[in-house]
């Protein structure tokens, strides 16, 4: 829904403070994906920063210098944000990119390219709680009231980037393409090393055991929370309190149990079952 803080593009809400219709339309219609692009795609709060840090560390063979000295937006620009798009268009290939775009707004050129997409998805109840907590700390986004009120809005998809269900269902339609790889936040939590090995295989990247150890160590929650290039503290005008780390909050699975009541969870599950009934897949939270 359009509001004072959001505009809609093809029915999907975007916060005016961070996006313009021109940039979203450019990404949708004109952005050229290149064969050697690697792009992390997520619904917000599903583990984007975690995947981007991991991919940057893999690219540099486990050496943390790049992630410790270069802001996340410069090493892996969000293509639909105005600063990110400018950086992406000047980025010397091979590019490492990021986006939250739903599949129907993803660059059309992807379909003819060999660009590699890594899609991360997460338990939607944890996504909702994490998103609620984050939006409270952000400037220039809609105030959604209590968590109970926010859950209603979330289940209807009246949040930035639209419905979690549509996002996941849209991207999962691409799951059999050779240049598409998906992984869950829960798998990353359970066995990051095993996930790094799988991601390396998908990327055709060979790392030694020691290099993989370094990727895993430097992509840990604490290392990332301490990394000023990644933790959001240098994002201008994004948060009400710039000094606090809001991007990395708790970094655990099933934190929703500490916030969502059993009655709200029942309602959530009911919508989940209805919306996901045509998805022939099982996820760690099912």
Q: Which of 6, 42, 214, 227 contacts ligand A3P by CB under 6 A?
A: 42
CA 213, 219, 220, 225 torsion-angle sign? positive
Cα torsion through 231, 236, 238, 244, rounded to 10 = 50
H helices of 121-254, where?
124-137, 147-156, 164-172, 185-190, 192-203, 209-218, 221-226
Q: Is 218 exposed, middle or buried (0-12, 13-18, 19+ CB in 10 A)?
A: buried
* Least distance CB 209 / ligand A3P (angstroms): 21
CA distance 179 to 117: 6
Q: Which of 6, 76, 103, 130 contacts ligand A3P by CB under 6 A?
A: 130
Q: Which of 27, 33, 48, 151 contacts ligand A3P by CB under 6 A?
A: 48
Strand 6-9 and strand 12-15: the pairing is antiparallel
Please identify which of the residues 49, 100, 144, 167 carries the catalytic annotation.
Answer: 100
Task: Work out whether 184 is an interface residue with ligand A3P (CB under 6 A).
Answer: no
CA distance 175 to 181: 7
Task: Work out whether 47 is an interface residue with ligand A3P (CB under 6 A).
Answer: yes
Q: x-or-dash pattern for ligand A3P, window 239-258, by CB under 6 A? A: ---------xxxx---x---
One DSSP character per residue, 31-76 reads ----TT-EEEEE-TTSSHHHHHHHHHHHHTTT-THHHHHS-HHHHS
Q: Which of 125/275 has CB closer to ligand A3P?
A: 125
Closest CA to 285 of 140, 143, 131, 126: 126
Q: Which of 52/155 has CB closer to ligand A3P?
A: 52
* Least distance CB 270 / ligand A3P (angstroms): 23
Q: Which of 98, 224, 229, 260 contacts ligand A3P by CB under 6 A?
A: 224
Q: Which of 9, 14, 18, 50 contacts ligand A3P by CB under 6 A?
A: 50
Q: Are 37 and 95 contacting, i.e. CB atoms less than 8 angstroms apart?
A: yes
Segment contacting ligand A3P (CB under 6 A): 17-25, 28-36, 47-55, 89-97?
47-55
Residue 100 designated active-site: yes
* Least distance CB 244 / ligand A3P (angstroms): 13
Task: Work out whether 219 is an interface residue with ligand A3P (CB under 6 A).
Answer: yes
Residues in touch with ligand A3P (CB under 6 A): 42, 44-50, 126, 130, 133, 219-221, 224, 248-251, 255
Catalytic center residues: 100
């Amino acid at each position: 829904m359009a509001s004072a803080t959001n505009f809609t593009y093809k029915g999907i809400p975007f916060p005016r403070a961070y996006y313009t219709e021109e940039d979203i339309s450019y990404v949708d219609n004109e952005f050229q994906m290149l064969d050697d692009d690697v792009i992390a795609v997520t619904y917000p709060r599903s583990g984007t920063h975690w995947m981007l840090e991991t991919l940057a560390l893999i690219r540099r063979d486990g050496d943390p210098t790049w992630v410790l000295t270069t802001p996340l937006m410069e090493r892996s620009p969000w293509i639909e944000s105005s600063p990110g798009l400018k950086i992406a268009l000047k980025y010397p290939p091979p590019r490492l990119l990021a986006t939250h775009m739903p599949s129907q707004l993803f660059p059309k050129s992807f379909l003819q390219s060999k660009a590699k997409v890594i899609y991360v998805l997460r338990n939607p109840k944890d996504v909702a709680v994490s998103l609620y907590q984050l939006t409270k700390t952000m400037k220039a986004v809609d105030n959604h009231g209590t968590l109970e009120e926010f859950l209603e809005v979330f289940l209807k998809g009246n949040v930035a980037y639209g419905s979690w269900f549509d996002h996941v269902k849209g991207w999962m339609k691409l799951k059999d393409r050779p240049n598409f790889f998906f992984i869950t936040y829960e798998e990353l939590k359970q066995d990051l090393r095993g996930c790094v090995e799988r991601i390396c295989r998908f990327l055709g990247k060979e790392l030694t055991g020691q290099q993989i150890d370094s990727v895993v160590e430097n992509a840990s929650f604490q290392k990332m929370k301490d990394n000023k290039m990644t933790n959001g503290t240098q994002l201008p005008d994004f948060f009400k309190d710039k000094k606090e780390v809001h991007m990395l909050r708790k970094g655990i699975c099933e934190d929703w149990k500490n916030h969502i009541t059993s009655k709200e969870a029942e309602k959530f599950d009911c919508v989940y079952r209805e919306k996901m009934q045509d998805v022939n897949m099982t996820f760690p939270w099912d």
